Amino acid sequence: MALLMETRLLLRKVKDLRCLTQKRHRVKEKWAATRIKHPATGLALQNFDSTYSVQLGPLWPSVRAALLSERKYGALLNNYGHDDVQAELQAKGCKDFPSDIETEAQPYLEQEPEVAGEEESTHVSVNKSDLDARQLPALQLSPNIKCLVFPRGDITRFKPARPDMFGCLGYYLMDAASVLPCLALNVQEGHNVLDLCAAPGGKTLALLQTKSIGFFGVNDASVSRTTRLRKVLGSYVPKPLLSDEKLRITTFDGTKWGEIEKNTFDRVLVDVPCTTDRHSLMEDDNNIFSKNRTGERRRLPQLQLDLLLAGIEAACPGGEILYSTCTLSQIQNLSVVEQAIHTAREDHGIQLQVVDLRPLTHMFRKTFDFAPDLPLGEMVVPHLAANFGPIYMCKLRRLT
């Protein structure tokens, strides 16, 4: 009994020595177990700082500041609406950027020959000050796509679109840089088009504005995202068009599309899932940098490669494929395209030609900032004065 009392007295004295412990170590165990963890947005910023500071060099600080600031939107005009929304927005200072190109950029737009036998211009000589005196091929864009933006440095916000008398909204708010892949896809009259990863629907809606598509296959692997896609289209497109047999909305695994419809489409848009850099920095909800999505993030490049290869197989000989992401990551952009070109040649016997998109950067340099000297494809980088993007795009053509 005496021994037990001495032990208790000794333990009490040891506890009293807590006052000699450094304050930062005086933490209750239950508090230590529930310390605030790094949010997903913080983990994304750490990842980008370590990766993009090397990839972009001195450009990264300005891009970083823009990514952490409020993004800028464009208003994609709905050609199925009946209100004169364009005049209303232009009165507020907006400009339709696809038609607002510089005078010296006009030669880069390929025109259909008007006289039989007339040869189309395939190359245009450029002054030494313009893109290092290299010769740029002419570029034809998808028609009828209109997207209005406020001038550089103007951060005015668009008001929500209003429905017309038939219930169609006048415009769709989206990152204006996301319209560039749709323009570059060069959809022409009667083309069969596939949008392999269509949700949430902005690029799908932009392609529908061309009113040139013969058959439009719209697909997304996610049931919930496809439901959202249908809701978006239902707010902008007349119901008879949604039920038309020329428009088909599906929920298939896009990586298997080469087995479903091979050598079928004139144009294929492959806007793949990615780290979505801007969302990853601004929103903790559904963030791919969350701890429980680490494996999914690491598998992204392989998923992107499989989707691009499926899109290549779905395109017919002579058809064109547009690969795009909304990330700055070289691993998800350039590396995926390089691997796809190699795999298509070695494993599928498909020869691909990279279509030069430099004319696009020259035409729209008043509206967007583009990354300089990319070895493959083009990329819009965010800038505080023109806070669009990031959007990476690379166009491939299947050789016959």
Q: What's the average model confidence in pLDDT over 375-387?
A: 97
Compare 319 and 132 and report the one with higher pLDDT: 319
Domain boundaries, the chain: 45-99+139-398
- Residue 253 is labelled as binding a ligand: yes
Known catalytic residues?
Answer: 326
Binned at pLDDT 50, 70 and 90, residue 82 comes out as confident
- Residue 168 is labelled as binding a ligand: no
Q: What's the average model confidence in pLDDT over 139-157?
A: 95
| The pLDDT of residue 101 | 78
| The pLDDT of residue 3 | 58
Q: Does domain 45-99+139-398 have CATH number 3.10.400.10?
A: no
| The pLDDT of residue 12 | 57
- Residue 220 is labelled as binding a ligand: yes
| The pLDDT of residue 135 | 59
- Residue 203 is labelled as binding a ligand: yes
- Residue 58 is labelled as binding a ligand: no
| The pLDDT of residue 134 | 47
Compare 131 and 169 and report the one with higher pLDDT: 169
What rounded mean pLDDT belongs to the chain? 87
* % of the chain beyond a pLDDT of 70: 82
- Residue 147 is labelled as binding a ligand: no
Q: How many angstroms separate the first and last alpha carbons of the chain?
A: 97
Rg of the chain over CA atoms, in angstroms?
Answer: 26
**pLDDT tens digits, one per residue of 202-246:** 999 999 999 999 999 999 999 999 999 999 999 999 999 988 899
**pLDDT tens digits, one per residue of 254-274:** 999 988 899 999 999 999 999
Low-confidence winner among 117-126, 276-285, 350-359 (lowest mean pLDDT): 117-126
Binned at pLDDT 50, 70 and 90, residue 13 comes out as low
| The pLDDT of residue 73 | 97
**pLDDT tens digits, one per residue of 359-369:** 999 999 999 99
Neighbours of 45 (CB within 10 A): 18
Burial of 55 (0-12, 13-18, 19+ CB in 10 A): middle
Residue 181 neighbours by CB under 8 Å, 6+ apart: 203, 269, 271, 322, 324, 391, 393
Q: What's the average model confidence in pLDDT over 62-86?
A: 95
For residue 1, what are its two tokens?
């009994």
| pLDDT at position 64 over 70 | yes
| The pLDDT of residue 107 | 57
| The pLDDT of residue 126 | 32
- Residue 201 is labelled as binding a ligand: yes
| The pLDDT of residue 327 | 98
Q: What's the average model confidence in pLDDT over 32-55?
A: 85
**pLDDT tens digits, one per residue of 103-123:** 545 555 655 433 333 333 333
| The pLDDT of residue 127 | 36
Sheet with 74-77, strands from edge to edge, namely 95-96, 147-149, 74-77, 171-174
| The pLDDT of residue 116 | 32
| DSSP symbols for 38-92 | PPHHHHHHHHHHHHHHHHHGGGHHHHHHHHTS----EEEE-TT--S-HHHHHHTT
Low-confidence winner among 125-129, 157-161, 324-328, 392-396 (lowest mean pLDDT): 125-129
Neighbours of 400 (CB within 10 A): 8
| The pLDDT of residue 83 | 84
